[in-house]
Homo-oligomer: A and B are copies of this chain.
Amino acid sequence: MLPDLFTPSTLRALELAGIFVFAISGALLAVRKNFDVFGIAVLAEATALGGGIFRDLIIGAVPPAAFTDLGYFLTPLVATVLVFFLHPQVERIQRGVYVFDAAGLGLFCVTGTTKAYEYGLGLTSSATLGLATAVGGGVIRDVLANEIPSLLRWDRDLYAVPAIIGATIVALAIRLDALNTATSMLAAATAFGVRLLAIRYHLRAPRAWNRRSETAEEE
């Protein structure tokens, strides 16, 4: 068992903040796709909780935290109400949403990796599940909205890389027996910072070498 990384109330407040901003991103996509208010709520819940539910099913932590902690369930509904009534204003502060989303990404890759390791998985698997926790909700959001997952597209700024870096730092810290509040915060802050740099400078990952453009997008 790892030491408690944060005071429980601090950690929970951080997690709810991450869930909130992920829910905002789901709700905004739902509005853009012209969904009704229930569609907005479903997409907000799926985006915010999907990655953690996937992780918990894989590690055998059932029922998942999303179904035992009422705050996890209610927070996306708050985001739904906010976007429902104020979405033009929320759209306008899109830049702010990106910053919070980056914070959620950094936080979840750390807590996801840590929780998977606590359930007995190896370091590589734990880091992979940290990544899945951080990016899984966004993939489920895009699949439900019938879009190609933004995570997979070459024309989007780096999103997986910051989470991989954060999860790897946590795994290294565990390996070196140095996981504590400081190293956890360092990992989350690094992922957060790399994501902000990726947005600022439009950093993107390469596509396959020698890709012939004439075959693009066809089946």
Question: Do A38 and B207 touch across chains, with their CB atoms under 8 A apart?
Answer: no
Q: A73-B128, A145-B148 are contacts. A68–B122 as well, Cβ < 8 Å?
A: yes
- Collect the chain B residues with CB atoms within 8 Å of residue A40's CB: 208
When all copies of this chain in the complex are counted, the total is 3
Question: Do B70 and A124 touch across chains, with their CB atoms under 8 A apart?
Answer: yes
A182 within 8 A of B: no
A144 within 8 A of B: yes
A60 within 8 A of B: yes
Question: Do B88 and A35 touch across chains, with their CB atoms under 8 A apart?
Answer: no
**What 1/0 flags go to A110-145 for Cβ under 8 Å of B?**
000000000111101100110000000001000111
A209 within 8 A of B: yes
A205 within 8 A of B: yes
Q: How far is the CA of A145 from the CA of B9 in the complex (A)?
A: 39
The stretch of A150-158, A167-175, A189-197 in contact with B is A150-158
Question: Do B60 and A63 touch across chains, with their CB atoms under 8 A apart?
Answer: yes
- Collect the chain B residues with CB atoms within 8 Å of residue A125's CB: 63, 67-68, 70, 73
- Collect the chain B residues with CB atoms within 8 Å of residue A42's CB: 151-152, 160
Q: List 19 A-B contacts (CB under 8 A).
A: A31-B207, A31-B208, A32-B218, A33-B148, A33-B217, A34-B211, A36-B153, A37-B205, A37-B207, A39-B154, A42-B160, A58-B67, A68-B121, A73-B125, A85-B209, A87-B210, A88-B212, A144-B152, A147-B219
